[in-house]
Amino acid sequence: MTDAGGAPGAPDPRPRPQFGEYATPEEQRARIKQPDAALVYEPAPVVESAAAAAAPAVPAPARAGTAAAPRPRAIDRIVTFALLAYGLVNVVSSFPALVDFSAYAQTMFDLLGVDATLSDPAAGRPWGIAAAIVLAVGWLLTAAVSWMSMRRGRLSFWIPIVGGVVFTFASAMLMLVPLANDPAVWQALVDSIR
């Protein structure tokens, strides 16, 4: 071997290699053919009892880091489909109320205990249609995301809950816009507070 300066016969200042990092390809091939006896691992022989030999083989559980097929979650699927069905019933049953804005406004006034009438009942109809469309598209998106999540074997019951809250809130905000912009409604609200 030569040292870092290249003088033959001088000691090498580098640490002694442990894993063959300084070995030539020929030395590596020779080492691979004849492994060190201290590094060879030979497992201890397995002694099976008669009962263990007669028992059927049970597959070992998957180790961490190995790819295992996702297990189906039956309860999660049932709950997810039930929530999606409930949401669909709510969306379909909301359509008539959302499209007939004057009846919706009168129901709101009755709930609030306010004696009010809309200045322009026809102005709220486009907002009601927009709210119905938001609910329908929201349900379709929620169903699609839920389906994709279930196909991947993930927990999915929470997706219809979150989708229902988000799209119902968005629809309600659309329905409040014409009520908030109507001066007759504001005057009735102020009069009911006094």
Question: What is the tens place of the pLDDT at every residue in 58-79?
Answer: 555 555 555 555 555 789 899 9
* pLDDT tens-place string over residues 95-134: 898 888 888 888 888 887 877 777 777 888 899 999 999 9
CA–CA dist 91, 132 (Å, integer): 8
What separation, in Å, do the N-terminal and C-terminal C-alpha atoms of the chain show?
A: 102
Q: Are 103 and 97 in contact (CB under 8 A)?
A: yes
Annotate 50-82 with DSSP letters as a single string.
HHHHHSPP-PPPPPTTS--PPPP-HHHHHHHHH
* pLDDT tens-place string over residues 125-161: 899 999 999 999 999 999 999 999 999 889 999 999 9
- pTM check: above 0.85: no
